[in-house]
């Protein structure tokens, strides 16, 4: 988080609040969110791309209050289920600024989106185009549609490979567009032929936690190529509503010191230049560029605070590994076990010997693990923690605002942690800790 620093006493202050007080008041594990960090990232994206062109990807983390913040910051919202849509509507999020995603939206989800009057439905299959056309026709309305393209760019953190990613469930392939027999061009034909559907945009999403511009640039060029193909086939007068190229999310964040995220103004500038140039080459009007950042808005501003329960040194022949067990784990952060994700973790409740090197303790190579009944229940695989770490100490894991609470489970009947937002030293509970009574409510 931007407003986080350890004081002389070694305790972390986040947006003016002492994590020891927050832990005492709310219990641990605890997600602590720096509200101004979240809002600040919203406004940076807004400044770079234009507020409405930025669709916060709700899947990273959503609750009613977050939806309100996103609305207040003027952004749009990307939802990918009826549940996320319901949270947005509960927050009175302007429906025309909501777009619905998903490769298998149910009939009920399509109906809810059309009835709410969302600004876009991103179609992902021929089945869905027909289903949505029926839903809109039955309500005598016209549904705004974006077509999700599989542009053949696979983006990784440190590389992008322009082959071999056709084989996945999302989108309409653009392969074969040269001969006009791509799935993407056929999808556009069907949308344009449906009188209750309006083609308002083309969409591409190339991956997540990306640190390079090349993948986005390649995707932008390919999406413009499809736009040009559509103009050639249908004529611009039949495509007047098609004004948005949505290039998806995926902008990477710093999980560890040394990770270097892309600069937002620079990426926006670069993408605008490419789209402008490619459109000029084909004689097209320049469409609006939209993006769907989730992690880059929600991720950096949150830490998870855990209490250390046990410290165990396991001799491994010549060296030993220190296992530090905390009071949460894979139920509040599955990302380490699922994606080999890396995190930065610090002692945040007191000073330690090695804070004041020279002369301090030498830190110990440690592994922070959870309390679940699985050896793969690892929160931070390798980290240096103070030699005198002891039960009762608080640890904070940084940048846990995206895809941690959102992917939390009740595994081993651990209650989901609370989420508190802090601003100017004042904390507010966004989501209270789950209780066993909450879980028992499902039992019939």
Given a contact cutoff of 8 angstroms between Cβ atoms, the answer to whether 335 and 413 are in contact is no
* Shortest spacing between CB 119 and ligand LLP, in angstroms: 15
The rounded Cα 45 to chain-centroid distance in angstroms is 14
- The annotation status of 295 as a binding-site residue, yes or no, is yes
Nearer CB in complex with ligand LLP: 228/406: 406
Nearest to 302 by CA among 74, 73, 63: 63
Instruction: Give me the residue label for tokens 């109906």.
Output: 111
Shortest distance, CB of residue 215 to ligand LLP, whole angstroms? 12
User: Of how many residues is the chain composed?
Assistant: 444
Say if residue 152 carries a ligand binding annotation: no
Cis omega before residue 29 (within 30°)?
Answer: yes
- Shortest Å, Cβ 124 to ligand LLP: 10
* Catalytic residue flag (residue 404): no
Token representation of residue 189: 């034909």
Q: What share of the chain is helix, strand, coil (3-state, %, to 5)?
A: 35, 25, 40
- CB-nearer residue toward ligand LLP: 250 or 417: 250
Measured from the CB atom, is 311 or 406 closer to ligand LLP?
A: 406
The residue among 42 and 347 lying less far from ligand LLP, judged by its C-beta, is 42
List alpha helices for 194-243, DSSP H: 214-234
Which of residues 55 and 354 has its CB atom nearest to ligand LLP in the complex? 55
Site of interaction with ligand LLP (CB under 6 A): 57, 59-60, 78, 101, 205, 208-209, 248-251, 292-296, 335, 339, 402-403
Q: Is 370 annotated among the ligand-binding residues?
A: no
Beta-carbon count within 10 A of 5 CB: 10
Rounded to 10 degrees, the C-alpha dihedral 434/439/441/444 comes to: 180
Rounded to an integer, what distance in angstroms lies between the CA atom of residue 288 and that of residue 276?
10
Minimum CB separation from ligand LLP for residue 130, in Å?
22
303 neighbors 6 (Cβ within 8 angstroms): no
SS3 362: coil
How far from 270 is each of 137, 146, 284, CA to CA, in Å?
40, 23, 18
* Residue 374 labeled ligand binder: yes
CA atoms of 125 and 238, how far apart (whole Å): 22
Least separation in angstroms between residue 302's CB and ligand LLP is 13
Minimum CB distance to ligand LLP smaller for 226 or for 348: 226
Q: Is 343 annotated as a binding residue?
A: no
Residue 57 vs 399, nearer CB to ligand LLP: 57
Q: Taking the complex as a whole, how short is the minimal distance between the CB of residue 246 and ligand LLP, in angstroms? A: 8
Structure tokens at 40: 């600040």
φ/ψ of 323, rounded to 5, equals: -100, 120
Minimum Å gap between C-beta 406 and ligand LLP is 8
294 is in an annotated binding site: yes
- Using alpha carbons only, what angle is made at residue 59 by residues 58 and 64, rounded to the nearest 5 degrees? 45
Choose, from 42, 80, 373, 404, the residue flagged as catalytic.
Answer: 373
Sequence-separated (6 or more) residues with CB below 8 Å from residue 415: 433, 434, 435, 436, 438, 439
Give the catalytic positions in this structure.
373
Residues annotated as binding site for substrate?
A: 295, 335, 339, 374, 403
What residue numbers does the annotated binding site cover? 250, 292-295, 335, 339, 374, 403
Q: Enumerate the known binding-site residues for pyridoxal 5'-phosphate.
A: 250, 292-295, 403
């Amino acid at each position: 988080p931007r407003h986080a620093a350890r004081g002389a006493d070694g305790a972390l202050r986040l947006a003016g609040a002492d994590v020891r007080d927050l832990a005492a008041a709310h219990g641990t594990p605890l997600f602590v969110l720096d509200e101004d960090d979240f809002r600040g990232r919203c406004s940076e994206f807004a400044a770079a791309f234009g507020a409405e062109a930025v669709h916060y990807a709700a899947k990273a983390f959503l609750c009613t209050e977050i939806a309100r913040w996103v609305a207040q910051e003027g952004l749009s919202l990307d939802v990918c289920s009826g549940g996320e849509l319901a949270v947005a509507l509960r927050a009175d999020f302007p429906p025309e600024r909501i777009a619905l995603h998903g490769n298998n939206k149910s009939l009920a989800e399509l109906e809810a989106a059309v009835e709410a009057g969302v600004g876009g439905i991103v179609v992902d299959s021929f089945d869905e185009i027909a289903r949505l056309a029926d839903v809109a026709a039955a309500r005598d309305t016209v549904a705004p549609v974006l077509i999700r393209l599989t542009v053949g760019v696979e983006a990784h953190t440190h590389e992008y490979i322009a082959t071999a990613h056709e084989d996945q469930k999302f989108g309409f392939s653009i392969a074969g567009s040269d001969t006009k027999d791509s799935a993407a061009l056929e999808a556009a034909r069907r949308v344009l032929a449906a009188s209750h559907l309006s083609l308002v945009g083309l969409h591409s999403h190339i991956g997540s936690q990306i640190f390079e511009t090349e993948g986005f640039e390649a995707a932008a060029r390919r999406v413009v190529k499809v736009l040009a193909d559509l103009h050639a086939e249908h004529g611009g007068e039949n495509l007047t509503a098609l004004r948005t190229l949505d290039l998806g999310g995926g902008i990477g964040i710093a999980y560890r010191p040394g990770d270097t995220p892309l600069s937002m103004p620079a990426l926006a500038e670069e993408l605008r230049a490419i789209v402008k140039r490619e459109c000029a080459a084909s004689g097209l009007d320049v469409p609006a560029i939209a993006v769907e950042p989730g992690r880059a808005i929600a991720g950096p501003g949150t830490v998870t605070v855990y209490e250390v329960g046990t410290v165990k040194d396991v001799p491994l022949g010549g060296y030993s590994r220190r296992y530090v067990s905390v009071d949460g784990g894979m139920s509040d952060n599955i990302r380490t076990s699922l994606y080999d994700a890396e995190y930065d973790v610090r002692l945040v409740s007191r000073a330690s010997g090695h804070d004041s090197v020279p002369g301090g303790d030498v830190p110990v190579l440690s592994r922070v693990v959870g309390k679940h009944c699985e050896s793969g229940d690892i929160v931070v695989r390798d980290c240096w923690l103070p030699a005198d770490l002891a039960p009762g100490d608080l640890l904070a894991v940084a940048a846990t605002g995206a895809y941690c609470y959102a992917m939390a489970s009740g595994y081993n009947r651990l209650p989901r942690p609370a989420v508190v937002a802090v601003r100017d030293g004042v904390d507010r509970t966004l989501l209270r800790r789950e209780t066993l009574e909450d879980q028992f409510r499902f039992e019939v």
